[in-house]
A and B are shown apart, each in its own frame.
Chain A
Amino acid sequence: MSAMDPTEIFRQEASELFEVLEGALLDLGQRPDDRELVDSAFRALHTIKGSGAMFGFDKVAAFTHEFETAFDRVRKGEIKPTQELISVALAAKDYIRALIEDPQSTDDIIGEAILDDLKRFVFPDQAAAPVAEMVAPPLVPVESKQAGWHLYLEFESHILRNGSNPLDLLEDLCKLGPCFVVPVTDGIPFLDEMEPEDCYLKWDVKLHAACDKDAIDDVFMFVSDEMKLTLSPLAHVEAPAPAPLFQLLDEEPAPMAAAPAPPVEAAAAPVAEQAVPKVEPKSEPKPEPKLEAKRDDRGIATVRVQAERLDELMDRVGELVIAQARLTQLASSGSDLSIKMIAEEIERLASSLRDTTMGARMVPIGSLFGRFRRLIHDLSRGLSKPVEFVTTGEDTELDKTMIECLADPLVHLIRNAIDHGIEDTATRSANGKTEQGRIELAAVHSGAQVLVTVKDNGGGLNTARIRAKAEEQGLIAAGAVLTDHEIHQFLFHPGFSTAQTISALSGRGVGMDVVKRTIENMRGSIDLSTRPGQGTTVTLRLPLTLAIIEGLLIRVGEGRYIIPLSAVEECIELTAEDERSRGRNFLNVRGNLVPFLRLREIMNASGAPDRHQKTIIISTGDTHVGLVADQIIGNHQTVIKSLSKLHSDVTMFSGATILGDGTAALILDVAQLVALAQSKVEKQHISEAA
């Protein structure tokens, strides 16, 4: 057991929580009514407070407690999270961070000032009201001078499975004082209907002890929401039973034995139970109904589901699609018409289930957009470039996994837009533009894709400089004829940067090549367009989901591979002329020269090639490449499985899937194959030029 410093552990934990808190607060400025944000901020605060106290950060715990108390009014919906309140809350967050990371730098006076500010916003009517009053709810006075309590206990049937034991609880109850316990057996079903792990017994208990109600609640603390507990003071009239009244039997009598009632009566009992509820004493109800009512108010329009359950559901659907593919294969090889019909029916159902499930995984992209406001705010101040940030299409939905993957690329693009795109205020005024720059982040549906654009109204790309840099790096020959668009593509080359001064903000960590790769890993594409003096727009095209795609199943030698159908342009047969032209890497497609790759060579296929080789033309953006295979088998619903770390060095495949016969097939990485074809073409150019 490593003896890690607990303080250090707490520090790490806290720094993660601060990020959560800050994100939630910033988003809250945008969506003040989002309960989830309020809750997440509150939870972060709560954890900081709890762990802080655990590890001796008393000042942190005390300050956070006040912060939390103030924020509780927001949580309860009594106060709106205004921009001013959020600014103060951010300051409070920074103060707690300082208390943890650099306590020397903090001053109690600052903390008090922040708290005063907080209170001013939160308790406007009672400026700086003593917070402590809010904390302790007045306890319901308990009559302690009574004979005891009458309890009626009814547990939910699953209680035993979750590790609670009613007998232990009754035992704990007996510790409070003498108890008279009567089991109520009318809930016991017939033997053949009995679930051995369910609890059917209920209990009627008279506790002859003048204890607090709290003491009883303590006994049932863990099961209070899984039981009906009716509690009423024991009337004095009732003669205290002779002590020690009833020692709970260690071994519970077998439930059936304890119910000697004739079956007819037992069957009738549950009905009677429903009609006339067990003597419901006029006891004060627990404060739970309130909670319940609140929940009802929120309606049934949405149900919150945990993300991992959705992942599980998607996995199951994936397995179903695979099993269905096997069924279809089996059915089509036989001659039984009815099986074929069932297979078709299941195929239809599986595909609609797939669509529904994928729909349930969709998350509006707005949750991501919100995160960039602090980034823009900070960058714009750091670089002294005032920037207006506009977002549109927040409602556009994308698979939740993709939203997570998009965060880093967008951070990079936005950083670039401010740092390199937007000019400084002097330049802007000199060019007759508004001093304040503008960055637009937009998302929009386009067929089966989502387009995400980052648009700035800055100076635009400096094509001449990119070209000069490309020549300097030997990417193109001096004087080569290239379109502006082709020149701009060099920005995506690894290690390519034209920024003359690397600022503190840009030019570190990921480059545009990484952004491009991340997007392509999501089976998306990236494109740039620019107008000198008017700005640059980066467009990301993304598929709607990552989990299941339409694929084209092909055979190369003995291996079978999947090509994402979205990349397939057409399939043609390799002509005899093309066949003869070994060594050359071009194909004549209606007058256009298209480079092609022989997959047999790339995959080291064994065995003799089929006589009629097929060519699949694939494309990324404007680039077309032909892939030569032995056979095109057909369309395939492809459930994408990622390749493990041990194959992370293999770039030609983007993943794998499972075919109808249960074998694995690899999914070709279109972008990589296109790049491979192009590098071959370039090599050929060079060797021909030589």
Chain B
Amino acid sequence: MNDGLAGERQADAMQVVMIGLGEEKFALDAGLVREIIDPVPVTKVAGARAFVPSVINVRGNVIPLADLRIRFGMPQLDDTAETRIVVIELDLDGEPVLVGVTADKVYEVTEISQTDVQQTPRVGMHWKPEFIRFIAKWREEFVIVPNMERILN
């Protein structure tokens, strides 16, 4: 027995990669994350939707680079020494799709438990509730577990 398969048996714990976007913290399901890389040169795609403005080369694959900050109506910051690209694999209409997500900072890989989960509050949020799977608590802070399929579709 081993811990890597814990998700199979313990449905209430969830491995996440904690990233920072602007002032907010987001928890990405670690099962989606393929790798985390330093920023690379981007290629703008004219005519693409604002939240997938460009493509990048990740190990010989050309993949879209998504900017969640645009989706959440947050200001875009210039790249800093802490900026990273989190490469995730999503299932879009039954097809696995690799997508890069710009993060202003990557904190750590950690576990949040469903007992920490807060129902999505309807008030006081300046973003669309359907983009959020749920809110969890991490180190006394509220973090957003985003619904990536919804955000990118």
Q: Check B45 against A647 for contact (C-beta < 8 Å).
A: yes
Indicate if A666 sits at the interface (CB-CB under 8 A): yes
Please report which residues of chain A, range 633-670, place their CB below 8 angstroms from some CB of chain B when the two chains form the complex. Answer: 641, 643-647, 649-653, 656-658, 661-666
Q: Check A559 against B44 for contact (C-beta < 8 Å).
A: yes
Indicate if A19 sits at the interface (CB-CB under 8 A): no
Contacts A645-B97, A646-B99, A649-B48 known; A319 to B60 CB distance under 8 Å?
yes
Indicate if B3 sits at the interface (CB-CB under 8 A): no
Contacts A643-B55, A647-B52, A663-B57 known; A656 to B62 CB distance under 8 Å?
yes
CB neighbours (8 Å) of B141 from chain A are: none
Complex partner residue of A644 from B43, B57, B60, B64, CB under 8 angstroms: B64
Indicate if A603 sits at the interface (CB-CB under 8 A): yes
Q: Check A666 against B43 for contact (C-beta < 8 Å).
A: yes
CB neighbours (8 Å) of A191 from chain B are: none
Q: How far is the CA of A664 from the CA of B97 in the complex (A)?
A: 17
CB neighbours (8 Å) of A644 from chain B are: 62-64, 97-99
Contact with A along B120-140 (1 / 0, CB 8 A): 000000000000000000000
Say how far B48's CB is from chain A's closest CB, in angstroms.
Answer: 5
Which residue in chain B gives the minimum CB-CB distance to A640? B62
Which residue in chain B gives the minimum CB-CB distance to A605? B46
CB neighbours (8 Å) of B21 from chain A are: none
Q: How far is the CA of A496 from the CA of B102 in the complex (A)?
A: 44
Total contacting residues, chain B, CB less than 8 A: 26
Please report which residues of chain B, range 78-131, place their CB below 8 angstroms from some CB of chain A when the two chains form the complex. Answer: 92-93, 95, 97-99
Q: Check A646 against B47 for contact (C-beta < 8 Å).
A: no
Indicate if A322 sits at the interface (CB-CB under 8 A): yes
Q: Check B93 against A645 for contact (C-beta < 8 Å).
A: yes
Q: Check A646 against B57 for contact (C-beta < 8 Å).
A: no
CB neighbours (8 Å) of A646 from chain B are: 48-49, 52, 64, 66, 92, 97, 99, 152
Q: Which of B45, B56, B92, B98 has the most CB of A within 10 A?
A: B45
Indicate if A602 sits at the interface (CB-CB under 8 A): yes
CB neighbours (8 Å) of A645 from chain B are: 92-93, 95, 97
CB neighbours (8 Å) of B41 from chain A are: 661-663
Contact with A along B34-59 (1 / 0, CB 8 A): 00000011011111110010011100
Q: Check B95 against A664 for contact (C-beta < 8 Å).
A: no
Which residue in chain A gives the minimum CB-CB distance to B93? A645
Q: How far is the CA of A633 from the CA of B119 in the complex (A)?
A: 56
Q: How far is the CA of A665 from the CA of B55 in the complex (A)?
A: 9
Which residue in chain B gives the minimum CB-CB distance to A604? B46
Q: Check B46 against A658 for contact (C-beta < 8 Å).
A: no
CB neighbours (8 Å) of B98 from chain A are: 644
Please report which residues of chain B, range 56-74, place their CB below 8 angstroms from some CB of chain A when the two chains form the complex. Answer: 56-57, 60-64, 66
Give 20 A-B contacts (CB < 8 Å), ordered by A residue. Answer: A315-B60, A559-B44, A604-B44, A641-B62, A643-B45, A643-B55, A644-B63, A644-B99, A645-B92, A646-B66, A646-B152, A649-B48, A649-B49, A650-B46, A651-B47, A661-B41, A663-B57, A664-B56, A665-B43, A666-B45
Known: A644-B62, A656-B43. 18 other contacts (CB 8 A): A559-B43, A603-B44, A604-B46, A641-B62, A644-B64, A644-B97, A645-B92, A645-B95, A646-B49, A646-B97, A646-B99, A649-B49, A652-B47, A661-B41, A663-B57, A664-B55, A666-B43, A666-B45
Q: Which 7 A-B pairs have the closest CB atoms?
A: A656-B62, A641-B62, A664-B43, A646-B64, A603-B46, A663-B41, A664-B62
Task: Identify the B interface with A (CB < 8 A).
Answer: 40-41, 43-49, 52, 55-57, 60-64, 66, 92-93, 95, 97-99, 152
